[in-house]
Amino acid sequence: MMFILDQCSQLAVPFNGDQTVSSDGLTTVATFRCNVNHTLMGRSTSSCLQNGSWSTPEPHLWYNIHPIKTQLWYTLRSIT
- Average pLDDT estimate for 58-76: 67
Distance CA 21, CA 66 (A): 31
pTM: 0.69
Task: Give the per-residue pLDDT at 37.
Answer: 84
Which CATH fold would you assign to the domain 4-79? Complement Module; domain 1 (2.10.70)
Burial class of residue 33 (count of CB atoms within 10 Å of its CB; 0-12, 13-18, 19+): middle
Give the confidence band of 66 by pLDDT, cuts at 50, 70, 90.
Answer: low
